[in-house]
């Protein structure tokens, strides 16, 4: 046997082991165990108040659990410089708190410094400017490079935020209900941009949070469904996003179907999840 050809498996990008979280004496999460590997594209699903944002906070190195162990990119939360770790993680949040009239190009550049505004006394290098231009082109916004943040559409903002996250070449990309506030056309453009990452950045790991199945990209490979602070199901998306699992999590009869790679959900007891 040629032992030189045998490769040890890469460490998980995200590893949550018996994680719990308490706030004001109340259990928000309990017994959360989840492993996410490089190149996987996860959906984090569940009703409002289920604990999705809390889990995403661990994945983004924004907070650490009350109990259990959380490892992100090989680092144990509570034993690592969280701010430094966040530079390895891209975060797309439609509630990006920017009010200044920066151009989309300038907004993307802030992804390099991990700031909201252009950092004081910072001048981007030629290579950084080129990287921002490449990221803008990648999300289909080259023609809007100099448009002002305050004048562009919500859909354009969403795609610009993907470029902002990608410009720092993260290993992990988090998308926190990224299609909030988008009309149907803008939503579809955004999801096409996310799907394109599966080809342009195959090693990039993504976690997308939503409670609408229609907002799942076709490229989704895995899903975890939570309810009342616990995991209902986790694994391959075809095994998890089913009528039975979704109905149980949302405590209402929901018919789940999949057609042409996209999911839908309707009220009702009949029918089964399409393969």
Residue 5 forms part of a structural domain: no
Residue 1 forms part of a structural domain: no
Last residue of a domain, one of 135, 151, 169: 169
| Structure confidence at residue 275 (pLDDT) | 39
Q: Please indicate, yes or no, whether residues 77 and 130 belong to a single structural domain of this protein.
A: no
The 10s digit of each residue's pLDDT in 2-22 is 544 555 556 799 999 999 999
For the cut 90, the answer to whether the pLDDT of residue 119 exceeds it is no
pLDDT-derived band at 70 (thresholds 50, 70, 90) equals: very high
The 10s digit of each residue's pLDDT in 26-44 is 889 999 999 999 999 999 9
Residue 160 forms part of a structural domain: yes
Residue 269 forms part of a structural domain: yes
Which of 3-12, 66-75, 99-108, 189-198 is predicted with the least confidence, judged by mean pLDDT? 3-12
The count of domains in the chain is 2
Which of 7-21, 35-49, 126-140, 186-200 is predicted with the least confidence, judged by mean pLDDT? 7-21
Domain housing 248: 10-88+170-275
Q: Please indicate, yes or no, whether residues 185 and 115 belong to a single structural domain of this protein.
A: no
pLDDT-derived band at 99 (thresholds 50, 70, 90) equals: confident
For the cut 50, the answer to whether the pLDDT of residue 273 exceeds it is no
Instruction: Tell the burial category of 148 from Cβ atoms under 10 Å away from its Cβ (0-12, 13-18, 19+).
Output: middle
pLDDT-derived band at 198 (thresholds 50, 70, 90) equals: very high
| Structure confidence at residue 271 (pLDDT) | 44
For the cut 50, the answer to whether the pLDDT of residue 270 exceeds it is no
HEC string of the chain equals CCHHHCCCCCCCCEEEEEEEEEECCEEEEEEEEEEECCCCEEEEECCCCCCHHHHHHHHCCCCCCCEEEEEECCEECCCCCHHHHHCCEEEECCCCCCCCCCEHHHHHHHHHHCCCCCCCCCCCCHHHHHHHHHHHHHCCCHHHCCCECCCCCHHHHHHHHHHHHHCCCCCEEEEECCCCCCCHHHHHHHHHHHHHHHHHCCCCEEEEEECCHHHCCCCCCEEEEEECCEEEEEEEHHHHCCHHHHHHHHCCCEEEEEECCEEEEEECCCCCCCC
| Structure confidence at residue 4 (pLDDT) | 47
Q: Please indicate, yes or no, whether residues 113 and 165 belong to a single structural domain of this protein.
A: yes
Q: Please indicate, yes or no, whether residues 21 and 71 belong to a single structural domain of this protein.
A: yes
Last residue of a domain, one of 154, 169, 184: 169
| Structure confidence at residue 268 (pLDDT) | 77
For the cut 90, the answer to whether the pLDDT of residue 25 exceeds it is no
pLDDT-derived band at 148 (thresholds 50, 70, 90) equals: very high
| Structure confidence at residue 181 (pLDDT) | 84
Q: Please indicate, yes or no, whether residues 52 and 181 belong to a single structural domain of this protein.
A: yes
Q: Please indicate, yes or no, whether residues 271 and 155 belong to a single structural domain of this protein.
A: no
| Structure confidence at residue 10 (pLDDT) | 64
Residue 185 belongs to a domain with what CATH number? 3.40.50.300
Residue 139 forms part of a structural domain: yes
| Structure confidence at residue 8 (pLDDT) | 54
- Look up the pTM and report it: 0.88
Q: Please indicate, yes or no, whether residues 187 and 152 belong to a single structural domain of this protein.
A: no
């Amino acid at each position: 046997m040629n032992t030189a050809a045998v490769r040890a498996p890469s460490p998980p990008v995200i590893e949550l082991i018996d994680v719990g979280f308490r706030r004001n004496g109340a259990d928000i999460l309990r017994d959360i165990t989840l492993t996410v590997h490089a190149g996987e594209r996860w959906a984090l699903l569940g009703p409002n108040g289920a604990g999705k944002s809390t889990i995403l906070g661990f994945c983004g190195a924004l907070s650490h659990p009350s109990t259990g162990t959380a490892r992100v990119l090989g680092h144990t939360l509570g034993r690592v410089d969280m701010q430094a770790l966040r530079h390895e993680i891209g975060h797309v949040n439609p509630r990006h708190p920017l009010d200044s009239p920066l151009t989309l190009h300038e907004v993307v550049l802030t992804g390099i410094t991990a700031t909201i505004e252009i950092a004081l006394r910072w001048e981007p290098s030629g290579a950084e400017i080129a990287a921002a231009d490449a990221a803008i082109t990648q999300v289909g916004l080259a023609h809007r490079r100099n448009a002002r943040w305050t004048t562009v559409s919500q859909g354009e903002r969403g795609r610009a935020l993907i470029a902002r996250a990608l410009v720092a070449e993260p290993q992990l990309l988090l998308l926190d209900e990224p299609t909030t506030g988008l009309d149907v056309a803008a939503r579809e453009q955004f999801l096409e941009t996310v799907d394109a990452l599966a080809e342009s950045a195959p090693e990039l790991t993504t976690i997308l949070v939503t409670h609408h199945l229609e907002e799942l990209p076709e490229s989704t490979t895995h899903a975890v469904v939570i309810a009342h602070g616990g995991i209902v199901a986790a694994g391959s998306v075809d095994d998890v996003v089913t009528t039975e699992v979704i109905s149980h999590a949302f405590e209402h009869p929901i018919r789940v179907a999949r057609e042409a790679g996209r999911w839908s959900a309707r009220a009702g007891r009949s029918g089964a999840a399409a393969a």
